[in-house]
Amino acid sequence: MENVILHRVFDFLNQYPPFSLLERSVLMEIAEKVRIKYFPAERRIFSQGESTIPFIYMVREGAVQLFRVEEAGNILVDQCDEGDVFGIRPLLAEQPYALTAMTVEESLIYAISTEGLRPIIENNPKIAWYFAQNFAAGIRNKFAYHNKGRIFTSPEALKKVTEPLTEITSINYSKAPVTCNLTTSVKKAAKIMRRKKVGSIIVVSKEKYPLGILTDRDLRNKVVAGDYSIELPVSGIMSSPVFTVRPQLAVADVQIAMIRQKIHHLCLTEDGTINSKIVGVISEHDLLVVQGNNPAVLIRELSRSQSGKGLRKIRERAEKLLAEYLGQEVSIDYIAGIMTEVNDALISRAIELSIKKLEKEKKSMPKVRWCWLGLGSEGRGEQLLRTDQDNALVFEDVPEKNYLKIKNYFGDLSSKVTATLYEAGFAYCPGDMMASNPQWCKSLEEWKKQFSEWITQPSAENILYSSIFFDYRSIYGDRQLTEQLSEHIFNGIEQQNLFLSFLAKGALQNPPPLTFFRNFMVERSGEHKDKFDIKSRAMRPLADVARCLILKAKVPGINSTFRRFQKLAELEEQNRELYTQAADAYEILVRYRALQGLKNHNKGRYFRPSELTKMERMNLRNTFEPIRELQQILYIKFRLAYLM
């Protein structure tokens, strides 16, 4: 009979981390030291301040709540249900308990002796990693800040140094750059390049400050073609100014800089500016060697694609790159930067193809300034997967006699662009919030009036529109138009302070994603019944809070939710820890949604909590914890008691 009980204990432990991470023989040794204890409802297991007992605890059946006892009363910190471990201070610190543990209902608790457990942990990195990741001083931790977002792959992955996060100094770039001065002739510069076997030469001042760059491409396009004499100085055909970075910069930042600036070489200078000595040159080829599958290649192919289907195939390859990055635990900030550049290149090409189609239909582009805007997750630079389209178009104000013709042209253009994006795998917006809808294709003055209406008349519908459109970002065209629009919005908000209160009130419409007993708040009916909506329940509340607070702080130009929280952490010392946790939480949620989407070949929005592992459920639940406290900050900061 004793053997049967032992094996039941073993089988239960083996279902849940950290014990599921151990080998059978080691786990059996632990199971032999387990005591099974029964507690009636509302029975104290240990008390805050009590000397540590030589056991850690695991809930077999029932539920246990952990309280912090303060003068104002008991504060509920956590609730443990089946498979949860608690009371681990005997393992991590010889200090009194920081919390009080009490049963919520009749419970069976496994008391696991710490005798001999510490050396087992020390000899098993997986279980040590689990405790370090999920607990701090005996309290289950929200996140391990130094490993933020790294919770969905094996602990061994944490030991890898992924290439995009290494510094440039680890790359075999040219540390003795080939240079010449402004008066050097093209002929002489070409001979130097041939002798040194390099594809570029840096033009420098007498102080060795970089002034320009001459490449093989320049020689082919400008000299060989006969446009420029080889006897003339290089100053006439060099590209200037050069783009410079400091040697200590991460490869990730170099990669994104090259993609953004559409360049193939970067100069390394002592302090990263053009006003210091050049110390090296890094080329796109250098990055290709170190990274293998380079996103710059995909972006170049996107710029040459001739159809929506062609764009789709390249975007599918980008998702394979996304999967590799996620598997390597590359930071979400870097991944989002790369995927945003890929999406922008795809959208830009879709626009160019659509303009060509209109030209074939004898419809010429009007000579007016205009800009294509990304909204929602694309506007925030967080669209890792091919989800729904959210976009708009703004064109400069024109005389009334020309308005209708220009409006019709941009309407036709937008319809072709959204159709091309659909062909590339981006679904149409169910709410038709796309530039192809005449309502979202307007002149600058019309957009200003639209935003003013939303700000001065903050109805539920207008607040909804604001939460989507206020995250816009320029993707193609004249960015000055959007800068003027942003200035108008901030001026409008400053004159109508009540608007932000209504925006904050709207942000509170999404309750925290956990029930009182720490179950996931799932959909109760419809197509996604019993599934958890990670976008609406977890990501949107965080994005809404960040938007409200960054607008109140009057900080333009930061759209990314986790970067907004990072900026807020700089601005508000008293809430630094909370905002940092919120930024980390959002990165984790973005990562998990991407993983779900790639795994299930969908948008990653809905999943069944029952299909998650215990560790995944716990880590996701931990990311939800800042939401309630953030919403309380909104409630107080915007005085929402007067609006509720």
Interatomic CA distance for residues 250 and 247, integer angstroms: 8
Q: Which residue has the tokens 């329940």?
A: 537
176 and 266 fall within a common domain = yes
Dump pLDDT digits (tens) for 603-618.
Answer: 999 988 888 877 777 7
Average pLDDT for the chain: 84
Mean pLDDT of 376-388: 91
343 and 414 fall within a common domain = yes
Whichever domain contains 64, its CATH number is 2.60.120.10
Interatomic CA distance for residues 543 and 535, integer angstroms: 10
- Domain membership of residue 510 (yes or no) is yes
State how far Cα 495 lies from the chain centre. 32
Dump pLDDT digits (tens) for 219-244.
Answer: 888 888 788 899 999 999 998 888 88
77 and 47 fall within a common domain = yes
Interatomic CA distance for residues 99 and 360, integer angstroms: 73
Higher confidence at residue 114 or residue 306?
Answer: 306
Q: What are 201's two structure tokens?
A: 């030469």
Q: What are 389's two structure tokens?
A: 């389209």
266 and 339 fall within a common domain = no
Per residue, the 3-state secondary structure of 576-588, as one string, reads HHHHHHHHHHHHH
Mean pLDDT of 523-536: 88
Interatomic CA distance for residues 186 and 233, integer angstroms: 6
DSSP summary character for residue 224: I
- Domain membership of residue 479 (yes or no) is no
pLDDT at 643 > cutoff 80 = no
- Domain membership of residue 351 (yes or no) is yes
Give the least confident one: 8-17, 119-128, 352-361.
119-128
398 and 358 fall within a common domain = yes
Mean pLDDT of 356-374: 96
Which pLDDT score is estimated for 174?
A: 61
- Domain membership of residue 449 (yes or no) is no
Q: What are 248's two structure tokens?
A: 């200590």
pLDDT at 323 > cutoff 60 = yes
Interatomic CA distance for residues 350 and 386, integer angstroms: 15
Give the least confident one: 50-54, 153-157, 334-338, 409-413.
153-157
273 and 311 fall within a common domain = no
Question: Is residue 30 a contact partner of residue 19, using CB atoms and an 8 Å limit?
Answer: yes
Mean pLDDT of 63-92: 80
- Domain membership of residue 433 (yes or no) is yes
Interatomic CA distance for residues 577 and 583, integer angstroms: 10
Per residue, the 3-state secondary structure of 183-237, as one string, reads CCEHHHHHHHHHHHCCCEEEEECCCCCEEEEEEHHHHHHHHHCCCCCCCCEHHHC
- The last residue of a domain, from among 421, 440, 459: 440
Q: Which residue has the tokens 């909370």?
A: 578
Q: Is 259 helix (H, G, I), strand (E, B) or coil?
A: helix
Interatomic CA distance for residues 283 and 93, integer angstroms: 51
Whichever domain contains 234, its CATH number is 3.10.580.10
Burial class (CB in 10 A: 0-12, 13-18, 19+), 25: exposed
- The last residue of a domain, from among 273, 292, 311: 292
pLDDT-derived band of residue 540, with 50, 70 and 90 as boundaries? very high
Identify which of 467, 627, 494 has the alpha carbon closest to the alpha carbon of residue 548. 467
pLDDT at 19 > cutoff 60 = yes
242 and 128 fall within a common domain = no
pLDDT at 509 > cutoff 90 = no
320 and 276 fall within a common domain = no
At position 331, the amino acid (one-letter code) is S
Which pLDDT score is estimated for 288?
A: 56
- Domain membership of residue 181 (yes or no) is yes
- Domain membership of residue 157 (yes or no) is no
- The last residue of a domain, from among 418, 440, 462: 440
Total number of domains in the chain: 4
- Domain membership of residue 525 (yes or no) is yes
Interatomic CA distance for residues 215 and 76, integer angstroms: 65
359 and 233 fall within a common domain = no
pLDDT at 217 > cutoff 90 = no
Interatomic CA distance for residues 243 and 253, integer angstroms: 13
pLDDT at 133 > cutoff 60 = no
pLDDT-derived band of residue 497, with 50, 70 and 90 as boundaries? confident
Mean pLDDT of 64-75: 82
Question: Is residue 87 a contact partner of residue 57, using CB atoms and an 8 Å limit?
Answer: yes
283 and 377 fall within a common domain = no
| Range of the structural domain that residue 130 is part of | 2-141
Question: Is residue 148 a contact partner of residue 588, using CB atoms and an 8 Å limit?
Answer: yes
Q: Looking at the DSSP assignment, which residues form a beta bridge with residue 598?
A: none
Q: Which residue has the tokens 């991944």?
A: 335
Which pLDDT score is estimated for 160?
A: 33
At residue 618's C-alpha, the angle toward residues 617 and 621, to 5°, is 85
328 and 356 fall within a common domain = yes
265 and 377 fall within a common domain = no
Dump pLDDT digits (tens) for 444-485.
Answer: 999 999 999 999 998 989 998 998 888 999 999 999 999 999
Whole-model pTM: value is 0.64
